[in-house]
Amino acid sequence: MPERRPYIAGNWKLWGTRAQATEYCRRLLTLLPEASRRPADVGLCVPFTALDTCIELLQGSGVLVAAQNMHAEETGAFTGEVSAAMLVEAGVQSVVLGHSERRQHDGETDRALQEKVPAALAAGLQPILCVGETEAEREAGDMQRKLRHQIGEGLEEVADDRLADVVVAYEPIWAIGTGQVATPDLAQEAIAFVRALVASRSEEAAESLRVLYGGSVKPENAVEILAQPDVDGALVGGASLDPESLARIAAAAAG
Ligand code: PGA
C-alpha cells in the first residue's frame, strides 16, 4: 500500500495583508522543524495579493503556497479572474477549488469545477478540491449522495492516471468556522466514502490520493482526527491564522 504523506494546509480565507503575511511566514519558519523532519507536508492558502510575499519568504522551506481560486480559461472576458498559468508564473504550487464559501457566496458550481480541476493539473498546479454536505443534507441522510455528486463532477474530466495528483478536502459545511468539529468517526466514515468513490474509477489512485478533513480543526482536536486511517491531513481555517496553532497541528500528524 503506498504511503500517503500527511498534509496540513492553512486556509487564510480573507486574511493577510502583505505586512501580516511577512510577519506570519517569518514566525512560522521559526516554529516548524526542517522539511526533512516534518511529519507532514505544510501549505498555506493565501489571498492573491499575498502570494508573492509568501513565495519569496518560504522559498526553500518546503512550505507550499496555494491560491484560493482560479478561472478555468486561460484568457477571455472574465473581469476579476486569474488563470492557472498566471498562478504558475507567479511561483504558486497549488490552488483551492470549490471551497464551500465560494460555492455559497460566489456562485461556484460543480460544472465550473469540472473544468477548473483539470485546468489546474494541466498547468502544473495541485488542486485541493473541497467537498462536503450541509447540516440539512446530513440530517436528511443525503451526505453520500452529495459527495457522490461533487466528487463525480469535480473529477469527471481528470484522467485516471492524474487522479492521485488531486488533493480532496472533505469539509462538512456545518463544521466550518462553527467550533463544531466532526467526530473522528464521522470524519473517517465520510473520507473513506470519498476514497471508495475514487476507487470506483481507479483503485490504485484511491490508495495514493490524499483526502483531508476540514472544519474547526484545532491543536486540541487534531491528534484524534489525524489518527483516523483514511484521514490524510487537514485544511485548517480559523486556527491557521495563528502560526503556532498551525505548527502544532502539523506536529500532531506524527500521532
Ligand atoms: P475552519 O475552516 O477551520 O475555520 O472551520 C476550515 C475551512 O473552511 O477550510
Sorting pLDDT into bands at 50, 70 and 90, what band is 2? Answer: low
Name the helix (H) or strand (E) containing 26.
helix 18-31
Q: How many domains does the chain contain in total?
A: 1
> Is residue 233 domain-resident?
yes
- To the question of pTM greater than 0.95 for the whole model, the response is yes
Residue 131 is part of a domain; what is its CATH number?
3.20.20.70
Choosing from 45, 102, 131, 176 the residue with most ligand 1 atoms within 8 A of its CB, the one to mutate for a pocket test is 176
Q: Residue 1: pLDDT above 60?
A: no
- Tabulate helix, strand, coil % of the chain (nearest 5): 50, 15, 35
Instruction: Tell me the chain's radius of gyration from C-alpha atoms.
Output: 17
C-alpha pair distances (Å), 230 with each of 107, 115, 169, 173, 252: 30, 27, 12, 19, 16
For ligand 1, atom 7: residue with the closest CA: 237
Smallest CA-to-CA distance from 12 within 42, 45, 41, 43 is with 45
pLDDT in tens, 33-49: 999 999 999 999 999 99
pLDDT in tens, 95-115: 999 999 999 999 999 999 999
Residue-range definition of the domain harbouring residue 190? 7-252
- Residue 177 CA to ligand 1 center (angstroms) comes to 5
Q: 215 in ligand 1 pocket by Cβ < 6 Å?
A: yes
pLDDT in tens, 151-207: 999 999 999 999 999 999 999 999 999 999 999 999 999 999 999 999 999 999 999
At position 8, the amino acid (one-letter code) is I
For ligand 1, atom 6: residue with the closest CA: 237
Report the chain's mean pLDDT, rounded to a whole number: 97
Name the helix (H) or strand (E) containing 85.
helix 84-89
pLDDT in tens, 230-247: 999 999 999 999 999 999
End-to-end CA separation in angstroms for the chain:
19
> Is residue 1 domain-resident?
no
Do 46 and 68 meet the contact criterion of CB atoms below 8 Å apart? Answer: yes
Residue 216 gets which letter from DSSP?
S
> Is residue 2 domain-resident?
no
> Is residue 245 domain-resident?
yes
> Is residue 139 domain-resident?
yes
> Is residue 20 domain-resident?
yes
Q: Residue 78: pLDDT above 80?
A: yes
- The number of residues making up the chain comes to 255
For ligand 1, atom 9: residue with the closest CA: 237
Which residues does the annotation mark as catalytic?
99, 171
> Is residue 150 domain-resident?
yes
Name the helix (H) or strand (E) containing 128.
strand 126-131
Mean of pLDDT values over 2-7: 90
> Is residue 36 domain-resident?
yes
What per-residue confidence (pLDDT) applies to 3? 83
